[in-house]
Chain A
Amino acid sequence: AQSVTQLGSHVSVSEGALVLLRCNYSSSVPPYLFWYVQYPNQGLQLLLKYTTGATLVKGINGFEAEFKKSETSFHLTKPSAHMSDAAEYFCAVSDQDQAGTALIFGKGTTLSVSS
């Protein structure tokens, strides 16, 4: 069975600092990996996804993530945090072998950005 672990339910950074949100997954088959962001009182929005090909994936708002098969990780980074990045971030995995499969989500990491 697939699972996702997000290390750290809450991460706090200063504006301009590096953002690193950790995600590890468990999957017996090649996975598709996603990061979603949820701003207060809004729905989830896709930040980026990894399907196949290049393991470094660039998303919206300056975020990127690297798929590391050997470490079963898909950590999300941004070089310089902005106040507007404060939100909840969810890592998710789906199964490449199943068409249109539902996503398995981590429990989320709340990012706080201070000035």
Chain B
Amino acid sequence: GAGVSQSPSNKVTEKGKDVELRCDPISGHTALYWYRQRLGQGLEFLIYFQGNSAPDKSGLPSDRFSAERTGESVSTLTIQRTQQEDSAVYLCASSLAVSGGQGEQFFGPGTRLTVL
């Protein structure tokens, strides 16, 4: 079966423009996560969706960042008025809804965002 897919794989944009990143999770995975990986840094948690529950947005760095998920399928991460510090690889992961954080998270290949 297909893994987690993300598009585009690379995105170059100008400062101040809006960008939209897409994630297709593994079918049947109710949990979906967005992370950011800046150069030389570990992964930073951004946002988490679990089924129809309200998303955990505690990791979003500013109100320029938002994300949506339709049911238990596709998710989009939107960054408005991009800044150079937004340049990073944005990773999406999905997992089965296993209690206590046991569920293995399966990662997509990421979207490399470069803000000029």
Contacts and interface: CB of A to CB of B under 8 A. Distances in A.
A97 B100 contact: yes
A102 B48 contact: yes
Contacts of B44: 105
B62 interface: no
A43 B108 contact: yes
Interface residues of B, number: 32
Given A102-B48, A105-B43, A108-B42, A95 B108 contact: no
Given A43-B91, A43-B108, A44-B91, A100 B98 contact: yes
B101 A99 contact: yes
Contacts of A107: 40-42
Nearest to B97: A100
Nearest to A99: B99
B77 to A, nearest CB: 14
A42 B112 CA distance: 12
Interface string A16-56: 00000000000000001000100001111110010100000
Ranked 9 nearest A-B pairs via Cβ: A94-B101, A105-B42, A44-B107, A102-B45, A107-B42, A43-B107, A105-B43, A99-B99, A101-B101
